[in-house]
Structure 1
Amino acid sequence: MRHTNPIKFALAVGLSASMLAGGASAQENLIIAIYKSGTQQYFIDQAEGFMSAAEELGYEARVINVETDSNLAISAVSDAIAAGARGIAITAPDQALGPAVSTAAAEAGVLMIATDDPLEDASGNALPFAGFDGVAMGTRVGERAGALLAESGWLEGESYAIMSVEVQTLSVCNDRTNAAIDQIVAAGGSADNVVPVAYDGTADLALSAAGPVITANPGVDNWVVVGCNDEGVLGATNALRNAGFDAANVIAVGLGAYEACRPWAAGIDTGFKAALYISGVDVGDAAARALINAIETGEPLPPMTVANTTIVDPSTYADIMPCN
């Protein structure tokens, strides 16, 4: 799998209709993907999968990065419609945008599929979705974290805490972290030892949010860390390192593996002990193919397309995934 420079995919949202080209009439072979946090590796990969699948099927694909700006996301949908897109895939920065963006697409006669984060229309109906099962992902992360905790010896008298790095406003993130904690508790961890850390999905905010939490728990000698994505776990493990914790005192299980694999590849001692590998390429590919099939056949978009996931660790990742 190639990893392409984010500039190739992260188009400016404030493009004029002339730059997007196509006017108000739909082009026969244009589909557009709109991504939050489009400079994160996962979304770069997803954009690559989307564009590659479209090219293979004879379609033109464009990508718009809106980072975490809801107003830019709404503008991006309008821009995509003005460009003549036949279909739009969107990972919205806020799930509350579902009614607005789906209404705009429906009124324009443009197909829309939600990627990564489920969306609902104004009537509360789920939009077609391509991505991962949040509960299943969190379950697999928690199973591995729980097993590592049980093997660590920390349950026999060692002081430990379980850091849950959470995007508390995003349902799919809550699905992941809640399921992970459930599995850690099932493996013997104490629910009383769970310490939530709220962040926005970025490593920087996870780092800054985890620091005060670590300081507020001076009696904790060992930490288990899970989160909504690899960035959250990365930020928390960096905060623990900054606070003086050795890698041996951290059991971090990532979700994504694109950040976890980097210290593994470099031979650096790290708190990342495992991660759930998810391929953004697969989601982008699935979304593009679903849109194009619906455009070509007139059939409805499938309600849900779920991609596979795999647990990796320092001894297995290189056989399963690329690491840039």
Structure 2
Amino acid sequence: MKLTTSFKGTLGFTTALVVLASAASAEAPALAFIITNAQNPAEISMREGFEKKGGELGAEVRILNASGSVEAMSNAIDDMIAQGVQGIATITMDSVVSMSWVDRANDANIPYVSVAVQVGDPATTPFKDVYPGLSALVGQDYIVSGQRMAEAVAPLLPEGKTAKIGIVEGQAGYALVAQLNQGFNEKLKELGADYQIVFSQPTDWTPAKGQEVCANGLIANPDIDVIFSHAEDMAIGCAQAINDAGSSAKLVTAAGGSKLGTPLIKTGDIDISMCEAWIRTGELAAEALFQAATDSATPKGRLIEYKPELITAENTDTVCPPQW
């Protein structure tokens, strides 16, 4: 994972300050981490990283599950504010609605960290423009990730014809869904690729839904050339659909590096993936929130950005041992 941390235009902020803050804190701060789906392997790993690092720093960690409901996440935030926690982090479900969550936390002088998803309308707000009042945004620029996936896909496209591409999207409502698609399409056009998107369907992040979307897409487009999945979980199901159909379609995916997906990368069933170190993502979120909770001088608007490595059968063992 390549990591860049910045705030208010200044580079070089390091997590070493967190250790100093820990030593200076007289009481263990209560840090709440609200996840969206306790069954999602990526979120399980982020939770693991957050809990582990929070405990190491001396925090009292509280984990809440919104179970896929924006309303439940909003209520959980209100509950944590009422209970007087010293920090709130969320795997943010709705980038637009979450602006009000940050504002409410700010009104209560509680630092707020968004994990993996930006706060603010992604249609009008660049990823690097961290929402005012947000203590830190921990994540990747998904437009850039989409562009990098397009660069990897371009050499796989057939010559002399219009390539057919299908997209297996993440869950509707997540900012990263539109951002990955935007970056992917922008870069392919910039590269001069001759292609057509023959389907682009949302999922619930599960292998079962990925298999369903791909199976239907392959029935409608048996000569499809490439399928781009927004996450490796769906790609696992999609790989099965491709095999069942006897298709030669190439399969590429973002959000990879899972224990179930890595064997498929090694066999070539998944041609290209993108290594997501989700445990480390949770750790970074805990570090950022702990610092803000224990040091009032911590600046707001920090951007803790990482760039996942691209992985194939040739480099997965060295670049991305199974992460989650």
Normalised-by-shorter TM-score class: 0.7 to 0.9
Structure 1, unpaired ranges of 5+: 1-26
Matched residue count:
285
CA distance in 1, matches of 2:115, 2:218: 34
Distance 1:185 1:194, change over 3 A: farther
Tell me what 2:58 maps to.
Answer: 58
Q: Does 1:319 align with 2:323?
A: no
Structure with higher RCO (Cα < 8 A, 6+ apart) = 2
Name the TM-score, length of structure 2 as normaliser: 0.77
Contact 1:53 1:285 in 2 (8 A): yes
**Given the alignment, which residue of 209, 225, 228 partners 1:226?**
228
CA distance in 1, matches of 2:116, 2:264: 29
1:70 Cα deviation after fit? 1.4
Contact 2:257 2:277 in 1 (8 A): no
* C-alpha distance after superposition, 1:261-302 (max 9, x if no partner): 635437874531111112112221121111111222212234
Contact 1:166 1:196 in 2 (8 A): yes
Tell me what 2:147 maps to.
Answer: 139
1:33 Cα deviation after fit? 0.9
1:306 Cα deviation after fit? 0.3
Distance 1:252 1:185, change over 3 A: farther
**Correspondence list, 1:192-231, <5 A:** 192-218=196-222, 220=223, 222-231=224-233
CA distance in 1, matches of 2:97, 2:179: 19
CA distance in 1, matches of 2:68, 2:257: 20
Contact 1:290 1:302 in 2 (8 A): no
Contact 1:142 1:181 in 2 (8 A): yes
Name the TM-score, length of structure 1 as normaliser: 0.77
SS at match of 1:256: coil
* CA RMSD in angstroms, aligned pairs only: 2.7
Tell me what 2:291 maps to.
Answer: 293
Distance 1:315 1:188, change over 3 A: same
CA distance in 1, matches of 2:28, 2:107: 18
CA distance in 2, matches of 1:188, 1:296: 51
1:160 Cα deviation after fit? 4.6
Contact 1:225 1:251 in 2 (8 A): yes
CA distance in 2, matches of 1:266, 1:165: 17
CA distance in 2, matches of 1:308, 1:179: 14
Contact 1:263 1:269 in 2 (8 A): no
Q: How much identity, in percent, do the aligned residues show?
A: 19
- Aligned AA for 1:129? L
Contact 2:29 2:293 in 1 (8 A): no
Distance 1:132 1:108, change over 3 A: same
